[in-house]
């Protein structure tokens, strides 16, 4: 087991061994969510603050469930309900949160680099739950965990990302993580939605959907992130769908055992046809389920990690 990090700010900062440590730790935590009583005392006495300055369904719920399964005390802030709306700076808000003796902060923010800034201001452990267009490390980790569970390994897999690569923190974190663990990554989308120079990260770039699909072991669809776009990157959503949507017809060109992934939220009928979203190829809901174990693993490792035991095992003095 290799783990030398105080924070989880991005997969760019982690070694291949550290990423593998998170995935392996998550693997051993899965069974806790299958118990009748889904709770261990690992983070008892620790306080985790969930700071979400952008909308979230999956990440926020998944972190809160992970924290509760590890017995942490949790507090939740959204930007609308914090004093940030009264003009308090992020730094002052963070220092006040720290004065409340919070041990870990999970933060999502629309500006790239905010979790890194927080890590400089305060002593609590920081977990990036998505910052602007920079990184979404726990999403990429749960994607890699799901892919590894389905395919047995990440090394040598062909993994394609299709859609709005330019505005995707999910794509960026996956590229860092997957290339470190030996997968071959392809990105595909309209030319205007592929960041210049992305090849330097070790990925193949194509504007041909057929090329991205044909040799892929997994295909991840990325939503067109209209909320991050200040200009028009393609003529219309209808035209985008005609060229880049994954549907049954294009899937005939893919490997029989290709898996379809999506970080959510899915815009059905745009990047992904209904019948594929709900098909035997889709692991979209497995991704959501796996997010709990992956986030438990991150919380556990950042807390300095004592053995994760049930209350009974604690009372008996350990697992032996
Ligand atoms: N994948 C993801 O980040 O989803 P949410 O925005 O719902 O958290």
What are the pLDDT digits (tens) for 155-213? 999 999 999 999 999 999 999 999 999 999 999 999 999 999 999 999 999 999 999 99
Please indicate whether residue 150, judged by its CB atom, sits closer than 6 Å to ligand 1: no
Q: What is the CA(272)–ligand 1 centre distance, in A?
A: 17
Query: How many Å apart are CA 286 and CA 125, to the nearest integer?
Result: 28
Per-residue pLDDT band at 231 (split at 50, 70, 90): low
In angstroms, the Cα distances linking 121 to 6, 90, 118, 128 are 14, 10, 5, 15
Q: What is the pLDDT of residue 205?
A: 98
Buried b or exposed e, range 42-52, using 16+ CB within 10 angstroms: bbeebbbbbbb
Lowest mean pLDDT among 40-54, 67-81, 188-202, 288-302: 67-81
**Cis amide prior to 232 (ω within 30 degrees):** no
Mean pLDDT (the chain) is: 92
Q: What is the CA(219)–ligand 1 centre distance, in A?
A: 18
The secondary structure of the chain, three-state, reads CCCCCCCECCHHHCCHHHHHHHHHHHHHHHHHHHCCCCCCCCCCCCEEEEEECCCCCHHHHHHHHHHHHCCCEEEEEEHHHCHHHHCCCHHHHHHHHHHCCCCEEEEEECCCCHHHHHHHHCCCEEEEEEECCCECHHHHHHHHHHHHHHHCCCCCCEEEEEECCCCCHHHHHHHHHHHHCCCEEEEECCHHHCCCCHHHHCCEEECCHHHHHHCCCEEEEECCCHHHCCCCCCCCHHHHHHHHCECHHHHCCCCCCCEEECCCCCCECCCECHHHHCCCCECHHHHHHHHHHHHHHHHHHHCCCCCCCCHHHHHCCCCC
User: Looking at residues 40-47, what average pLDDT do you find?
Assistant: 96
Q: Is the pLDDT of residue 82 over 80?
A: no
Q: Is 0.85 topped by the overall pTM?
A: yes
Q: Is the pLDDT of residue 118 over 60?
A: yes
Query: How many Å apart are CA 2 and CA 5, to the nearest integer?
Result: 10
Per-residue pLDDT band at 314 (split at 50, 70, 90): very low
Question: Which is higher by pLDDT, 17 or 4?
Answer: 17
Q: Is the pLDDT of residue 20 over 80?
A: yes
The residue nearest atom 4 of ligand 1, judged by CA position, is: 58
User: Looking at residues 19-27, what average pLDDT do you find?
Assistant: 98
Q: Is the pLDDT of residue 320 over 70?
A: no
Q: What is the CA(230)–ligand 1 centre distance, in A?
A: 21
Q: What is the pLDDT of residue 1?
A: 86
Please indicate whether residue 291, judged by its CB atom, sits closer than 6 Å to ligand 1: no
Q: What is the pLDDT of residue 86?
A: 73
Q: Which of 56, 164, 295 maximizes ligand 1 atoms within 8 Å of its Cβ, making it the mutation to test the pocket?
A: 56
Structure tokens at 149: 């569970």
Q: What is the pLDDT of residue 317?
A: 41
Q: What is the pLDDT of residue 63?
A: 98
Q: What is the pLDDT of residue 85?
A: 66
Q: What is the pLDDT of residue 90?
A: 82
User: Looking at residues 210-217, what average pLDDT do you find?
Assistant: 98
Q: Is the pLDDT of residue 132 over 90?
A: yes
User: Looking at residues 215-244, what average pLDDT do you find?
Assistant: 84
Q: What is the pLDDT of residue 237?
A: 87
């Amino acid at each position: 087991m290799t783990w030398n990090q105080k924070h989880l700010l991005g997969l760019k900062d982690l070694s291949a061994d550290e990423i593998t440590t998170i995935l392996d730790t998550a693997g051993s935590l899965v069974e806790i969510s299958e118990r009748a009583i889904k709770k261990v005392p690992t983070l008892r006495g620790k306080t985790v603050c969930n700071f979400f300055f952008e909308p979230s369904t999956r990440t926020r719920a998944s972190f809160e469930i992970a924290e509760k399964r590890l017995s942490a005390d949790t507090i939740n802030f959204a930007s609308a309900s914090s004093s940030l709306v009264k003009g308090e700076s992020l730094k002052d808000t963070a220092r006040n949160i720290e004065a409340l003796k919070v041990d870990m902060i999970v933060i999502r923010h629309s500006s790239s680099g905010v979790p890194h800034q927080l890590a400089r201001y305060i002593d609590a452990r920081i977990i990036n739950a998505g910052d602007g267009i920079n990184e979404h490390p726990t999403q990429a980790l749960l994607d890699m965990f799901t892919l590894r569970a389905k395919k047995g390994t990440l090394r040598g897999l062909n993994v394609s990302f299709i859609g709005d690569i330019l505005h995707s923190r999910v794509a960026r974190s996956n590229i860092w993580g997957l290339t470190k663990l030996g997968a071959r990554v392809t990105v595909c989308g309209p030319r205007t939605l592929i960041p210049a120079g992305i090849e330097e990260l070790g990925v193949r770039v194509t504007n041909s959907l057929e090329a991205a699909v044909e040799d892929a072991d997994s295909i991840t669809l990325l939503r067109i992130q209209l909320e991050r776009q200040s200009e028009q990157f393609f003529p219309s959503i209808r035209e985008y769908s005609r060229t880049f949507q994954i549907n049954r017809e294009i899937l005939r060109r893919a490997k029989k055992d290709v898996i379809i992934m999506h970080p959510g939220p899915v815009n059905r009928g745009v990047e992904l046809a209904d019948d594929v979203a709900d098909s035997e190829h889709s692991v979209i809901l497995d991704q959501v389920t796996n997010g709990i174990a992956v986030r438990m693993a991150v919380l556990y490792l950042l807390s300095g990690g004592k053995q994760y035991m049930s209350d009974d095992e604690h009372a008996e003095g350990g697992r032996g």
